[in-house]
Structure 1
């Protein structure tokens, strides 16, 4: 979308056949609905025809007409909203904004919104806010920033939507915090947006500060604070939050159940689940997932059988519980009533972990869609099965298909290079991670390269890479160099490195072996 088209100055316009009505009343209801669950915004299909007839009978009753457009917008029926708009005898700013909002709610309608904006005789803060919401929804953060910076007037809703644009995106917590601190005022909605962001970042200290600053809390506030403690590994903090909360609903109880599961306290999770007064599908799936993550098929299967209703998450959790039994996983996979990319990737990873390269490749070739995780799992399967050449061929094909690697992909490619003894290619790939993909090599990547250099007798290069690491080398990297020094009988190098790494007890036996 052409940002210049919506950030230019708009001259006042009076080409209206209708008298302008209060925009705030209708649109505030519309934007309040944007922050509510979809289930609470459903309108029955029946009665729309009657509503339309009533609007037409009203003639120039623009409140009735605008209400009809907003009703269509609230259920994502942009074409219905447009038909109602076209049938009106004239339009107010509320009418234009209601249609604009209908396109925004439907999604992927930015071109139509641009055309509508060009046709609008005037804009107000609501118009700008709708565009801000549309760009945020489409993930076009730069366009959202351009719109927000061009707004001469901003409402609390505008600020909150802009805050959400950053808070909902991974890696943008600092920007979200900056926007939050700049806001002239806060309400429960904006505070909850930040609480959710801090919970996702496992930052309970920041979450608690926002929580304590709130004048009133909702169940979302308590759940987010609890989740922040849980993700940080502070189970005690999560329990205190649960015990202190005035809410005792299913949502908060499920959050506490998930906290037990995330901390690895499976027995406590099961006991807490059994103490809950009621369960929904999410609660059942949370307990099932806890057993699945532990690879405990024996405990997961009875839970699965007791579930009154199952969805694809339930089936995929049971599949993951079979992580140590590829045969059982195959039975579950082929019994699934439906499969998504998560289920396909799960069975692929199970075969890969089990070293069943043939089954993994067969699954990979039959997958209806692929993503970076799928490619990574298949490359791992090849690397694990000592099929390094296949791993490198897959990686080349992955790039040709336009998929970018992640850190795990790169580690598997380096492992393949190490298995094949491709020193130069390994070193080149480390550079490619930074220059071509914007990825910073971690300690696992560098340790893999050190191991390869050492095994190939390039001890000087291996030690130089160890010294150049931007972080303290771990025991694995030191062991790799010392082990290589022992293999190539370079006792002086082993003694020097062990001396500088004396804090690692793991180097003592390796040093002894190197000096034999």
Structure 2
């Protein structure tokens, strides 16, 4: 009867049976006591489970392991280890289930020395190759940062189960090792192991992190043959959005049988990232017509959409509705979005006032947002104030020094620029060099400003000369203010044409045939105003779609226009 209650998840009836046992005075044998213990363990009734355990007249390995696992699974890690220690003191030898449970407790406690001792115990008892023990050891070595031993444990585990493969792929994807995660996925398929939904979700995350849309599309085809659930669908939406294929992200979203809060948030954030604020807000309106409730992440996406589109009245209305209509207290991300929205539109005083009114200590994120707006609007005084607050929190913040230098350069205060650069040199800080990259036939090609190291440099610079000529025929006029250096105008014009994204574009035009898929370029810094204008013209001249992902968002250049509407 107790076992049937456990199978059905009917813990209330199981408790009633326990009461009947106590009233009738029936004595339970060891087996029945273990079943009763299991009832409370499965029902997550830790207090009752411990009471049954303490009242047992005798215990075996099942009893001890059940109690160790009960505490570990419910994050009572110290209690789990204490029960394990009691078990060892009276002479019980742990089995693979016990070792797996207590390893989980050690990871939770970050007791890595104890976990190493348990690894020794697993070696002595021959349980190291066991799947449950191996997974516990994998989790321990990954969390302790010992990637070498983690890899060794993984190599020694049985390779016919998807669980260790999924674990290692997920950990590599989460550790910004997207390329390694994808390589491991390929090895898994070569070993004829069938992926599960978590494997697919993790490899999609890896593809998104390295922005490998072609590889992600191949994995998508693989997904269609095996698994179509919401978890995998959400990962596909995120992957396509981060790789610049927002239309494909929407197709996946529309094809899901059930959209949960992650699906809605991924779609809203994806549209926001692509500068399509209107579409993001339409999706939010659709979400409110379902039974899925918005959460904090939803409003981060919504407010980001308003910020990226310059939608001030809508942004303010959504910010107020968070509390009044949805009962969600704004966090630092929401305030930062509002600061950027106000600042980008030139309302710098209002943005500063909002920072000062925050119900908590202003974060680096908020001050950086306002500083970035000050650079755009050349407000030196508020910009200096922002930089002062940021450097009080983090004196080694490299980006703040660079933004401060750029702000002075825009207002031609070259002496101040020199002072900032001297300060950076004294602190040992270096400006991150502009870098753009483009993928061609599975190989990534990197370019820096005025790069002459590429094997195809002659063809690349020849293409740039042709593009320069064609854009001038279309009335292109260089924006010399985009060059933040104290040099002559003719030098500024030459410097603009050797920006890294233009070199990457020239390479893409040389290597990919006309009429093929869009040219996709990734840049580690913000695209400058002159490059933005040139990209629009070139998309019209060569009749090619160009997608540039800079540090803030995507820009889709098509037939002389950009998806951002020239607001970024």
Instruction: Provide the TM-score with structure 2 as the length reference.
Output: 0.60
Where does 1:348-367 land on structure 2 (aligned, <5 Å)? 348-351=339-342, 353=344, 356-365=347-356, 367=358
- By percentage of residues, which structure has more helix? 1
Aligned to 2:238: 258
Correspondence for 1:343 among 334, 351, 354: 334
2:226 is paired with a residue whose SS is coil
Question: Runs of 5+ in structure 1 lacking a partner?
Answer: 1-25, 27-39, 400-404, 432-440, 446-470, 488-493, 507-516
Give, in angstroms, the shift of residue 191 of structure 1. 1.3
Does structure 1 retain, via aligned residues, the 8 Å contact 2:336–2:365? no
**Which residue of 2 is the match for residue 177 of structure 1?**
151
Query: 2:178 aligns to what?
Result: 202
2:428 is paired with a residue of what secondary structure?
A: helix
Q: 1:394 maps to what in 2?
A: 389
Q: 2:273 — aligned with what? A: 293
Aligned length: 414
**Structure 2: how far apart are the matches of 1:283 and 1:41?**
33
Aligned to 1:426: 424
Shift of 1:315: 2.9
Q: Check if 1:53 corresponds to 2:19.
A: yes
Instruction: For residue 332 of structure 1, report the CA deviation from its aligned partner.
Output: 0.9
The aligned counterpart of 2:105 is 134
> Is 2:450–2:499's contact at 8 Å kept on the other side of the alignment?
no
Report how far residue 352 of structure 1 moved. 5.4
Measured at CA, do residues 322 and 49 of structure 1 come closer, stay the same or move farther in structure 2, by a change above 3 Å? Answer: same
Residues 381-418 of structure 1: CA deviation (Å, up to 9, x unaligned): 2465334553454246536xxxxx8x8x4322554478
Q: 1:60 to 1:263 in 2, by over 3 A?
A: same
Greater share of strand:
2
State yes or no: 1:192 paired with 2:166.
yes
Cα 1:140–1:265 change in 2 (3 A) is farther
Please say if 1:164 is aligned against 2:139. Answer: yes
Instruction: Spell out, residue by residue over 1:348-402, the C-alpha distance to the aligned partner (whole angstroms, 9 max, x if none).
Output: 454455565544445445555669xx32432452465334553454246536xxx
User: What displacement does 1:124 show?
Assistant: 0.8
Distance in 2 of aligned mates of 1:319 and 1:218: 35
Structure 2 contact 390–400 (Cα < 8 Å) conserved = no
- 1:4 alignment partner in structure 2: none
Alignment of 1:440-479 (within 5 A): 443-444=432-433, 474=449
Distance in 2 (alpha carbons) for counterparts of 1:484 and 1:236? 39
Residues 335 and 64 (structure 1), Cα distance of their counterparts in 2 relative to 1, 3 Å cut: farther
Structure 2 alignment gaps of length 5 or more: 375-379, 409-415, 435-445, 452-479, 504-568
1:311 corresponds to 2:309: no
CA distance in 2, matches of 1:284, 1:253: 11
- Hey, what's the Cα distance between the residues in 2 that align with 1:184 and 1:119? 32
SS of alignment partner, residue 91 of structure 1: coil
> How far apart in 2 are the matches of 1:166 and 1:352?
45
Retained in 2: the 8 A contact 1:257–1:269? yes
Q: 1:90 aligns with which of 54, 58, 64?
A: 58
Q: Give the deviation of 1:190 after TM superposition.
A: 0.8
Whole-Å Cα distance in 2 between the matches of residues 178 and 281 of structure 1?
38
Where does residue 521 of structure 2 map in the other structure? Answer: none
- Per the TM alignment, residue 181 of structure 1 is displaced from its structure 2 partner at its CA by 1.8
1:443 Cα deviation after fit: 2.3
Distance in 2 of aligned mates of 1:185 and 1:505: 46
Report the secondary structure of 1:239's partner residue: helix
| Alignment partner, residue 119 of structure 2 | 148
Contact map agreement 1:230 1:237 (CA 8 A) in 2: no
Which segment is superposed worse, 212-221 or 302-311?
212-221
Q: Find the counterpart in structure 2 of residue 249 from structure 1.
A: 229
Give 1:32's aligned residue.
Answer: none
Q: Give 1:344 deviation, angstroms.
A: 4.1
Using CA pairs under 8 Å that are at least 6 residues apart, name the structure with larger relative contact order, 1 or 2: 2
1 CA distance for matches of 2:242 and 2:206?
Answer: 12
